Chains A and B, each alone.
Chain A
Amino acid sequence: ELKVEQNPLFLSMQEGKNYTIYCNYSTTSDRLYWYRQDPGKSLESLFVLLSNGAVKQEGRLMASLDTKARLSTLHITAAVHDLSATYFCAVDLRSGTYKYIFGTGTRLKVLA
């Protein structure tokens, strides 16, 4: 059974600090996506990672993909309050059909 696990599940951090969210998955895939969800809202696409070693950066967020380790990271640099949200990773199964399996999410709270 495919599993996509994120850790930590909850993260409370001070503004200005750095931290990393981890996404591990249990099957072969070279396509991984990161999404952001604000409370009560829908999901917004952040990053699309399509190959081993892929790195994408947007503002204070940087995502990377290691397909050999089946691991993606979302690094937060100098956190600000506006980054408070829940972050999901999702893996695209290489099965000929396009089923996206989501991780459990990491709820991030940045404290002023």
Chain B
Amino acid sequence: DGGITQSPKYLFRKEGQNVTLSCEQNLNHDAMYWYRQDPGQGLRLIYYSQIVNDFQKGDIAEGYSVSREKKESFPLTVTSAQKNPTAFYLCASNWGTYNSPLHFGNGTRLTVT
């Protein structure tokens, strides 16, 4: 079955360490997105990519970096510059066109202490 796979499901890191969250999709979607969700809040866009080797900052890109070297992969690195990295991170994809809803992965819960 097609879908989006995020790994790991839970991730624990010490403050000051960079950490990379994986996102892979086999839906052949062109566009991919990273969202952050804090408890009791909505989703905020970190980065998005509409085509390979191109990506744009979302609303809260500071302290994060991404790459899009392959169509199916869009890893997110949470750097030590991110002041409050503990959150639930959701990767999504779609066709990047009109009327295309987002398909979400199951998320990665990152805890930094």
Contacts and interface: CB of A to CB of B under 8 A. Distances in A.
Q: A and B: real partners?
A: yes
Interface of A: 4, 31, 33, 35, 41-45, 48, 50, 88, 90, 97-105, 107
Contact of B42 (A41, A44, A88, A98): A88
Contacts of B43: 43, 88, 90, 102
Interface residues of B, number: 28
A42 B101 contact: no
A104 B42 contact: yes
Contact of B99 (A4, A35, A48): A48
B41 A105 contact: yes
Nearest to B48: A99
19 contacts: A4-B42, A33-B101, A35-B102, A42-B90, A42-B105, A43-B92, A45-B102, A88-B42, A90-B102, A97-B50, A97-B56, A98-B94, A98-B96, A101-B45, A102-B35, A102-B42, A102-B43, A105-B42, A107-B40
Contact of A31 (B90, B92, B99, B106): B99
Contact of B106 (A41, A97, A103): A41
Given A98-B50, A98-B97, 16 more contacts: A31-B99, A33-B101, A42-B105, A43-B43, A43-B90, A45-B101, A50-B98, A90-B43, A97-B48, A99-B45, A99-B58, A100-B102, A102-B35, A102-B44, A105-B41, A107-B40
B68 interface: no
Nearest to B45: A99
A107 B31 CA distance: 29
A92 B35 CA distance: 15
